[in-house]
Structure 1
Amino acid sequence: MTITVDHRSSGTRWLAPGSFGRLLGIGYGVVVYAIFLATLLYAVGFVSGAVVPKNIDTGTVWPPSVALCIDLQLLGLFLAQHSGMARRGLKRVLTGHVPPLVERATYVLCASLVLILLFAAWQPLPASVWQAADPRAIAAIRSVSALGWLIVLGTFLTGHFKLLERKQKVLNFAGRVTSVVAFKTPGLYRFVRHPLYLGFILAFWATPSMTAGHLLFAAVMTFYICAGIWLEERDLLAFFGDRYRQYRARVAMFLPGLF
């Protein structure tokens, strides 16, 4: 598919090769993605209950109704930001004034800040849902959780954004214009269609000690992931057509040979 770019737009002029604005935009993107990576690494400890000073099961214990209300609001804020800023209408408005690189970095920054707020303000719901006792079972569950996080980190670093290239992907760090968007399936995408989401689901649910608060977090995030998959696949079918339709028929959603 050919993409035409209006070089008269303020965003394109602002990011003209050699301009101070372009250098500033690249620096902004680097700082934002460093914040994002730190936030993602903190999320590993927050969900798994390791290393970080505050995790999903620590903090002042409020009455369950109060804690539930606060946590639902935090989750709702994250879902609203994450989905609202991803809408095409808002993206069109933003990219009319700033380059796509800056628009994407701003989205990532806002998502990181909302996650940081969620980590800081999350209220524990300590009621036990399940508790593994056998050391071998605990080790196996923790191994599944670690595998999930490795899939998440590996997918982000090796292929997630390449697979999801969109019409707005017209700029790169060299200042060139991308005229053709290629459909690629790097790494684990050759075996499952949504390795990133698979990694998150494994990481959220594989815990030897499931509390009510952890269950709330895992359930809401899993629901959001499933809704996101439906919307994402609809967009991919519309954009790539038969190429993605054939890929979907050939490759499982989560588990090869099953679904």
Structure 2
Amino acid sequence: MNTTNRTDDRTTASGFLRLLALLYGTLCYGLFLVVFLYAIGFVMGKFVPKNIDSGTTDDFVTALTIDLALLALFAVQHSGMARQGFKRWWTRIVPAPIERSTYVLLSSAVLALLFWQWRPLAPLLWDVQDYSARCVVDALAVLGWLLVLSSTFIISHFDLFGLRQVWLHARNRAYPDTPFVIRAFYRFVRHPLYLGFAIAFWAAPTMSLGHLLFAVGTTSYILIAIRLEERDLVAAYGDDYRDYQRRVPKLLPLLKRRA
């Protein structure tokens, strides 16, 4: 009887922990959604209390130093924690089912810090005055954000943001290997998600020096992240991914690939 009770207690405790992991993953995903939506307003300069061209104004050197530090912090956290070597070490501390959710949580927190502490940098480099032209540029930026979001669903949105992992864990099911599949935009460009970000960051009817710094910094990070990510993809999928690199351009659909 005592042995049975202990087994029941362990089963109950295990079920509670799986439910707790599911709640944690859901909350992390909710935070991501809030930060993602704020990012759109922050970059486009619309609908949010603080955007890329508003906020505390410091002397130029101080503002530049803070902005560069924020960009560097995001790059190190976002790319470093995504590497397989880091994951192997990290999952000795953080349980594997919530590893991705924790990554999403920390990435969202670093982005929120960037939005909060970003310093505007003058002057304006260009400012489109014609209303119709501004609408066209804004529409291009919106298309970039839509490309980002739709690309996540094509490659499994809920895997990317940790929800599937905690859901399967809550059901006491193993997380399966992800097959290499080419769908939709990925038939024309290897990284449509990054292409969407680049479009969203550069399509600005008003371009300040601070916005330019953000666009240049994030684009530089994208180019570095692609090389690191593709190294991991080759390690995971081997010749299948090498063949994909040979056939499909990296970022610009009209250019022949250069892996």
Give TM-score scaled by structure 2 length: 0.85
User: Are 2:23 and 1:24 equivalent residues in the alignment?
Assistant: no
Q: Displaced runs of 4+ in structure 1, greater than 4 A?
A: 14-18, 160-164
Residue identity opposite 1:187 in structure 2:
A
Question: Judging changes above 3 Å, is the alpha-carbon distance between structure 1 residues 244 and 123 closer, same or farther for their aligned structure 2 residues?
Answer: same
The answer to whether the 8 Å contact 1:152/1:200 transfers is yes
Matches within 5 A, 1:70-149: 70-149=66-145
Matches within 5 A, 1:1-259: 19-159=15-155, 172-173=168-169, 174-178=171-175, 180-259=177-256
Gaps of 5+ in 2: 1-9
- Give, in whole Å, the separation in 2 of the partners of 1:37 and 1:170: 17
Gaps of 5+ in 1: 1-13
**Deviation string, structure 1 residues 95-117 (Cα, Å, up to 9, x no partner):** 22443221111111111111111
- Give, in whole Å, the separation in 2 of the partners of 1:219 and 1:203: 12
**Mean Cα deviation higher: 118-127 or 187-196:** 187-196
Question: Judging changes above 3 Å, is the alpha-carbon distance between structure 1 residues 62 and 180 closer, same or farther for their aligned structure 2 residues?
Answer: closer
**Mean Cα deviation higher: 202-211 or 231-240:** 231-240
Provide the secondary structure at the position in 1 that maps to 2:168: coil
**Deviation string, structure 1 residues 152-171 (Cα, Å, up to 9, x no partner):** 1222234255898xxxx798
The answer to whether the 8 Å contact 1:162/1:184 transfers is no
Deviation at 1:252, TM superposition (A): 2.0
- Give, in whole Å, the separation in 2 of the partners of 1:28 and 1:163: 15
Over the residues paired in the alignment, what is the CA RMSD in angstroms? Answer: 2.6
- Give, in whole Å, the separation in 1 of the partners of 2:55 and 2:166: 45
- Give, in whole Å, the separation in 1 of the partners of 2:159 and 2:167: 16
Question: Judging changes above 3 Å, is the alpha-carbon distance between structure 1 residues 128 and 179 closer, same or farther for their aligned structure 2 residues?
Answer: closer
Residue identity opposite 1:84 in structure 2:
G
Bigger Rg, structure 1 or 2: 2
- Give, in whole Å, the separation in 2 of the partners of 1:114 and 1:44: 16
